[in-house]
Amino acid sequence: MSDRNDETAEGAMDDLAASGWLDDAAHVVVPGADLYVEQVGRPDAPPVYVLHGGPGYSCHALRELLGEDLERYRMVYADQRGGGRSYADAPFDLDVLADDVAAVLGALRLADATLLAHGFGAAIAVRAARRHPERVRGLVLVNPWVSMPMLARTLQREAAVRSGNGDAALPPEGALADADVLDPQALVDEAFGRTSAKVLFDALLFPDAAARLRLEHADASALLGPTETVELPEPWGVDVRAELAALHVPAAVLVATHDGSAYPDQAEAALTGLPHGVTALVDGGHYPWLDAGDAFLESLHAALAHAGAVDAPDRDA
């Protein structure tokens, strides 16, 4: 990371901290990438670092739709390299995405943070906690995708059923023999050959059209960065299930029971790997802040407190 970038990020932080409130965007330059970062909330509050879903998505919609309910924390919204407003000009893998978390925290002079991870962001959070334990205070995993090969099998089953080819659907996850070695990319190609990717993901992620429309509206208003950027190669091979048991930080798993991409298979894998983690079930889809309302927010604040993000002291207006 360049000294010039450190000075820019630190100077902006100092100015905002003096004002008693954070609301600023900055760029953190790391080898092979330019990372877009926003800080929002109280400078005296515990840091919460958001790892959005994807790969290739951004923090924009999450901040737009959930941000007001998280103002009690010091929120760090960072688009992952290769997605949103963050640029990548060289190939990268999950280790690099995890290292970016430590690099951003270092540039912002934050010793550590609670990682709030959604969907694919959970895999990055787990890897970051393994590679940089000193930087991670705790984990909150929301509808986590801890195994992309497992998600590929879910997509194959759903596409086969929806296309009227139920006999071709793989058996439920628990019925797959350990010896079954299936190429996840081939399964995804098969699924998308039967049913369009958008139709398939919409069916799995959203319990109703209203939630989907709210997210699409937020996405449409995003001012994203360059469209030509290196994306994560071979994302369907990412699998962090074996790393979960080695984590030594408090963890919470929040799962929405109408999210077909995460419930029940991904949720069971996460909870099996985190036997001492706490969990909560809510009645919503993949983006539970859209449709689970106060129940999700109550569970989220409790999970963040468990994972080290206790509320900041009350401040006079």
Three-class secondary structure of residue 207 per DSSP:
coil
Indicate the pTM of the whole model. 0.90
Instruction: Count other C-beta atoms under 10 Å from residue 182's C-beta.
Output: 13
Q: Are 250 and 308 in contact (CB under 8 A)?
A: yes
Mean pLDDT of the chain: 89
pLDDT average, residue stretch 108-135? 97
- Residue-wise pLDDT for 171-184, tens only, equals 987 766 554 568 99
CA angle 259-237-188, nearest 5°? 60
| Residue 139: strand, helix, or coil | strand
**CA trace torsion 9, 11, 12, 13 (10° rounding):** 80
SS3 of residue 72 by DSSP: coil
Q: Which residue has the tokens 């994306």?
A: 231
Pair 219, 61: CB distance under 8 Å: yes
Supply the pLDDT for residue 225: 56
Of 3.30.2130.30, 3.30.413.10, 3.40.50.1820, 3.40.50.300, the CATH number of 3-147+214-306 is: 3.40.50.1820
Each domain of the chain, given as residue ranges in start order, spans 3-147+214-306, 148-205
The model's confidence at residue 163, banded by pLDDT at 50, 70 and 90, is: very high
- What are the tens digits of pLDDT across the range 55-101? 989 999 999 999 999 999 999 999 999 998 999 998 999 999 999 99
Listed residue (19, 18, 16, 35) closest to 106, CA to CA: 35
Identify the band that residue 234 occupies on the pLDDT scale cut at 50, 70 and 90: confident
